Amino acid sequence: MLTISAHTLPTKLALTLIICTTLIACGGSGGSNAPQSSSSSSSSSSSSSSSSSSSSSSTGGSVVGLYELADFPIGIAVSAGNESRSFLDLEEKQTTITQHFSQLTAGNIMKMSYLHPAENTYAYGEADTMINWGNTNGLSVHAHTLIWHSDYQVPNWMSSYTGNWETMLNTHVSEIVGHFAGKVVSWDVVNEAFENTVIGYRNSIFYQKLGADYIENAFSAARAADADVELYYNDFNLVSETTKLNHVLAMVDDFQDRAIPIDGIGFQMHIQIDYPSIESIRSAFKAVVDRGLKVKITELDIPINNPYNANATVYTSLTEEAATRQRQRYFAVVEAYLAEVPAAQRGGLTIWGLWDGDSWLATDNDPGWPLLFTGPANGPYEPKPAFYGVYDALSAP
């Protein structure tokens, strides 16, 4: 499984050699030497700040970059631009990102309201800076997202637009995709267009204006603006809500019948530690694979508490038990991905944030602990047992 895409190879290997001597110990190959103990990462908090050698981690194991274990992009969602905690302001974040990831997604700054703040104004500066950093450091960019109903993401000028909506949205898509052509490898073209229930299409402002046509229009306009970029439909609950998945699959079937361009489905996967079942996850992946599309896990995070399960153990800290369960859950998700999705259809795996304190799920009452790394806020960031869950799954023969 140790395959690195040609365009990332030289820079990434060089960076790994430099960085792994200062962050955590590096091994020469494969994942068989990944630390196996769930406590392995928590006890190594001093090693990253003080170590300048490539000596072993606390358990005697050693690791290579996650991305080196995969034949598909291993992505990370980042804060950038003027957002607080931008990775571009924090070298420690850059260090961990370049060591383990081969793809960036902007957690926010490539959404509609950021890129298109007024009808005739596009604001590309922050995204360009982020993308240039990625491309300079050997990371590709998955772009998120051209059309999303969310109230605070639809720009105000658009919400109150009184002109021709079809023309306006086509211009929005083609202008933005055109600008980033050749700089990003894939787009979430439309995000969250369906309800979980039999209702089907979400009654978004776009749906109210144009009916379901806005979705296919966006895919066609994106393809016209960039012949090479991969085009994804992205949504949540696709691994847990069969009704919703079926809406998406019906759309895919219809697109394929009518030659509307679409390359893959983005499974957000903001999932729970105990829900949904791995069988449900596998069968959702398989349904998309069977249609010949790519499967991309676009926003994976797994908090240790499931607020929807009244019978679940409630963890008030990242105990060894919770960390071990989380590690096993991450392992199972990645294992399912590798088992169900043939190599040619793997669009990649993106984790929705670098370290626990950065997560959208973290609140004062419940930090969630959903990600692969732990803080302090300014780093250095230490891999959690969850990290080794991903690592082990990617390393498995």
Binding mask 113-152 for ligand 9MR (x = CB under 6 A): ----------------------------------------
The correct pick among 61, 73, 107, 368 for binding ligand 9MR (CB under 6 A) is: 107
The correct pick among 27, 135, 360, 366 for binding ligand 9MR (CB under 6 A) is: 360
The correct pick among 42, 59, 135, 153 for binding ligand 9MR (CB under 6 A) is: 153
Which listed residue (68, 126, 216, 299) is catalytic?
299
Which residues have C-beta within 8 Å of that of residue 41, sequence separation ≥ 6?
A: 35, 57, 374, 382, 383, 384, 385, 387, 388
Nearer to ligand 9MR, 111 or 296 (CB): 111
DSSP secondary structure, 257-319, as one string = HTT----EEEE--B--SS-S-HHHHHHHHHHHHTTT-EEEEEEEB--S--TT-TTSPPPSS--
Nearer to ligand 9MR, 107 or 383 (CB): 107
State the minimum distance, in angstroms, from the CB of residue 209 to ligand 9MR. 21
Does residue 340 interact with ligand 9MR by CB under 6 A?
no
The answer to whether the peptide bond before residue 276 is cis (omega within 30 degrees of 0) is yes
The Cα 366–Cα 369 span in angstroms is 8
Q: Which 3 state secondary structure label does DSSP give 230? A: strand
The Cα 236–Cα 242 span in angstroms is 12
Catalytic annotation present for 192: yes
**Region of 107-115, 169-177, 343-351, 365-373 interacting with ligand 9MR (CB under 6 A):** 107-115
Helix (H) or strand (E) holding 164: none
**Tokens of residue 343, six digits:** 């190599």
**Nearest residue to ligand 9MR on Cβ basis:** 360
DSSP secondary structure, 165-211, as one string = HHHHHHHHHHHHHHHHTTT-SEEEEEE--B-SSTT-B---HHHHHHT
**Tokens of residue 323, six digits:** 């960390």
The Cα 260–Cα 252 span in angstroms is 9
Binding mask 187-216 for ligand 9MR (x = CB under 6 A): ----x-------------------------
State the minimum distance, in angstroms, from the CB of residue 108 to ligand 9MR. 5
Binding mask 51-80 for ligand 9MR (x = CB under 6 A): ------------------------------
Site for ligand 9MR in 254-313 (CB under 6 A): 268, 299
Q: Is 192 left (phi over 0), alpha (psi -120 to 50) or beta?
A: left
**Region of 104-112, 129-137, 225-233, 286-294 interacting with ligand 9MR (CB under 6 A):** 104-112
Binding-site ranges for ligand 9MR (CB under 6 A): 107-108, 111, 153, 191, 268, 299, 360
Active site residues: 192, 299
